[in-house]
Amino acid sequence: MKFAVLTDTHFVPRGGKLYGLDPAERLAVAVEKINATHRDISFVILSGDLAHWGEQPAYASLASVLAGLHAPAILMMGNHDKRGAFRSEFAGADRDAHGFVQGVHVFDAATIVTLDTLNEETPDHAGILCEARLGFLAEALGTAPADRPLLLFQHHPPFDSGLRYMDTIKLTNGEAEWDIIAGSRKPDYMFMGHLHRPIAGTWHGIPFHIQRALTHQVAFDFETEGHIPGTHESPDYSLVSVAEGNIAIHQCSFLYDGPTFSLHDPKALRSQSSRELAEVTA
């Protein structure tokens, strides 16, 4: 099984920009590339912060861009989202018994579990898993097929990353989540958004993957603490393959428009600049 991951699309109403960037324009480029190069994917997952201010016109713009995607989309909530406005445009999205945007998707190669860590009651952007959502996680871990990997997706990381401001708005009750996992089953991999940076590691022995946002990024800065330092580093989507229990994650810098060349080409090897290389290998 293969699938693609995008995160933190931060949509605004059609034609609008955020920090100088047009999220709809960027997602359209990603959709076009994914359609053209990954015809064998089962789905694309967007792991939260779908819209920056959570308003209905932003979700309408997102829906119109995603309409061009050939693969189905699994959509998740982040701290910037609003469930009501989201539902008005995506009525068929995952919905658990309590109305949270989370679900269990069982495929032959793996089970995908998505969690809704949005806390709409507090405006500070930290995440939470309330008792109902912890119960959903326990049920999902306890009933998922044991013979294939379980991949757990959630917007907020339950741990500190070292990015100082971001660590103040992580999942507030990560240890409660760990208690559920420790009492049931460890996911084979965790995927998160929120941090707008490429980060990998382990949490309680569980490997995790965090990737760049579709839009603005968070700087590689471990000193600033009073605000979130931002950058315009290029975005990525991930291509994940799961086969016979093995998982591989590739990052695609989909806005890259520089030269593509053979490393065995002597002209490319001796080029003195990127421009010269593009000319001699054209």
Q: Which is nearer to Fe ion, 105 or 194 (CB)?
A: 194
Residue number, 10 or 148, with CB nearest to Fe ion = 10
Task: Map the footprint of Fe ion across residues 155-214, applying CB under 5 A.
Answer: none
Angstrom distances, CA of residue 177 to CA of 110, 184, 186, 227, 263: 21, 11, 11, 27, 46
CB neighbours of residue 120 within 10 Å = 13
For Fe ion, which is the closer residue by CB, 8 or 89?
8
Interface residue with Fe ion among 3, 8, 137, 192 (CB under 5 A) is: 8
Report d(CA 241, CA 247) in Å as an integer: 6
Instruction: Please give the size of the binding site for Fe ion, defined by CB under 5 A.
Output: 2
- The whole-angstrom separation of Cα 21 and Cα 17 is 5
Shortest distance, position 268 Cβ to Fe ion, whole Å? 38
Closest to Fe ion by CB, 2 or 49: 49
Give me the least distance between CB of 6 and Fe ion, in Å please. Answer: 12
Q: Which stretch binds Fe ion (CB under 5 A): 6-14, 144-152, 214-222, 238-246?
A: 6-14
Which backbone phi and psi does 192 adopt, to 5 degrees?
A: -135, 165
Residue 127 is classified by DSSP as: B
Q: With contacts defined by CB under 5 A, name the span among 42-50, 64-72, 87-95, 225-233 that binds Fe ion.
A: 42-50
If the CB atoms of residues 18 and 130 are measured against Fe ion, the closer one turns out to be 18
Smallest gap from Cβ 120 to Fe ion, in A, equals: 15
**Least separation, in Å, of the C-beta of 224 and Fe ion?**
17
Q: In this structure, what are the phi and psi dihedrals at residue 256, rounded to the nearest 5 degrees?
A: -60, 130
The identity of residue 111, as a single letter, is T
List alpha helices for the chain, DSSP H.
23-37, 56-66, 83-89, 131-143, 164-167, 174-182, 266-269, 274-280
Choice between 8 and 96, CB closer to Fe ion: 8
Find the binding residues for Fe ion in span 221-250 (CB under 5 A).
none
Site for Fe ion in 45-74 (CB under 5 A): 49
Q: What is the CA radius of gyration of the chain?
A: 19
What is the contact surface with Fe ion in residues (CB under 5 A)? 8, 49
